[in-house]
Amino acid sequence: MIEDMRDIERELSALREVNLTPDEKRRMRNVLRAYMNAHPGAKIQIQSVPSPLSYWFVMVSRTSAMACAVIFVVGSVSYAARGSLPGQALYPVKVGFNEKVQSMLTLSPEASATLAVDQAAQRLAEIETLASTGKLDSVTQAQAEKRFEESFAEASKRVDTLKASGNILMAAAVSEDLESKLDTHLGAIAGIAETSQSREAVANIAYSVKSKLDDAAVRSIELGKTKVKLADRGSAESIVRTAQDSAITLLIENARDSQSAQAENTSDKGVATMAMTARTMAAPEPSAKLMAKGASNSSKEGVSDAVQKLIDQGKEKYAKGEYADAYENFKKAQRLAKDDTLLRGIAGDLKSLADKKKRTDEATTTKGVKEDDHEGDDDSHKGSDRGGLLRRIGL
């Protein structure tokens, strides 16, 4: 009976994999943001997490009026700082006080890791607001980028702590959450970059976020592999099949987007019909392959083929019972397919940035070699990292 229930729960969990693609989610988010900007409203009340300072108020309620007054002033400043953005006077209060207090009041490693991920996502939400309201300039960009990198480092550290304590399942879950949040926000930032007047500043941020997203993805895959290794056979198969399904869905979605774009551009009735068919048809693997190939233009063909190849290799490993390695293949295929969608609009900007940074790094390396061989080694390594990033983002 218990086995039956486990089987049912496993089957039901497969339904949880029906999700919006990152591209769909980003587009809908952009529409919602535009709608909200057009309907700002006057008196808005959304229930949110109560300020940690509310606990302080309770604690000091019976102490002297002077103490209460001091707390009231601090609380008011803290309260006012909650919606502040990089570059604004109260922003240091928000990040250096409010969030620190919140972190101090969060005791368990699991809750601390989740909070750190939320704070990293909050940094990206701030960047989105700055970019979409035209407030992102070189100064705010530098501040926002620095804050994001700090919060990302903190979140990564928390994940590593969970891993070191042996809580692999939680570490994997938090790591995936971090990757997913970075994915969503990067999509939104890339979307804003396409129309932003400060496109260069936004693209710079996107470049930085992408590099962290790559790190997060590597960590997620490693933790996921460990999770698969620790799971019993049935659960391992279920996890790997879910990863495989998601990879194939992304491949199909990318092909479909490409087909729709082609249909719109060429007004070709045949292609439009194909795109419509793709939207409604069940898509077994051969169709997916065909659609991916048929829909690809020359630059996308390489990406679709690479994704397909990773999926095929994953299937072979799965058939041999090499579940952890199969999982790695499917997750890499997912990452590649997601990147293809995420960065479509600003891929050119990122490539230029990567080229520019690579040239700067190479120049520094050459100079460093002449001046000091050891320093030159460090710069050369940095240069190769940038090259690695370039390859990893599929450009």
Q: Which residues bind other proteins (CB under 8 A)?
A: 4-5, 7-20, 24-25, 28-29, 31-33, 35-37, 39-48, 79, 82-83, 121, 125-126, 128-129, 181, 184, 238, 241, 244-246, 248-249, 252-253, 256, 278-285, 288
In this structure, are residues 205 and 312 in contact, taking their beta carbons and an 8 Å threshold?
Answer: no
- Cα distance between residue 150 and residue 25, in whole Å: 26
Q: How far is the CB of 9 from other proteins (least distance, A)?
A: 7
Q: How far is the CB of 110 from other proteins (least distance, A)?
A: 17
Structure tokens at 120: 């990293």
In this structure, are residues 140 and 128 in contact, taking their beta carbons and an 8 Å threshold?
Answer: no
Nearer to other proteins, 126 or 379 (CB): 126
Q: How far is the CB of 364 from other proteins (least distance, A)?
A: 38
Nearer to other proteins, 317 or 358 (CB): 317
Nearer to other proteins, 8 or 69 (CB): 8
Question: What b/e string do you get for 216-234 counting C-beta neighbours within 10 Å, with b at 16 or more?
Answer: bbbbbbbbbbbbbeebeee
Determine the 3-state secondary structure of 192 from DSSP: helix
Nearer to other proteins, 133 or 266 (CB): 133
C-alpha distances out from residue 140 to 130, 188, 262, 390, Å: 8, 18, 38, 25
Nearer to other proteins, 124 or 354 (CB): 124
Neighbours of 348 (CB within 10 A): 12
Q: How far is the CB of 282 from other proteins (least distance, A)?
A: 4
Distance in angstroms between the alpha carbons of the first and the last residue of the chain: 52
Nearer to other proteins, 280 or 298 (CB): 280
Q: What is the largest CA-CA distance in the chain?
A: 79
Which residue from 82, 55, 49 is spatially nearest to 71, judged by alpha carbons?
A: 55
Q: How far is the CB of 30 from other proteins (least distance, A)?
A: 10
Q: With 0-12 CB in 10 A as exposed, 13-18 as middle and 19+ as buried, what is 325?
A: middle
Nearer to other proteins, 84 or 360 (CB): 84
Q: How far is the CB of 120 from other proteins (least distance, A)?
A: 13
Structure tokens at 119: 């704070």
Q: How far is the CB of 65 from other proteins (least distance, A)?
A: 25
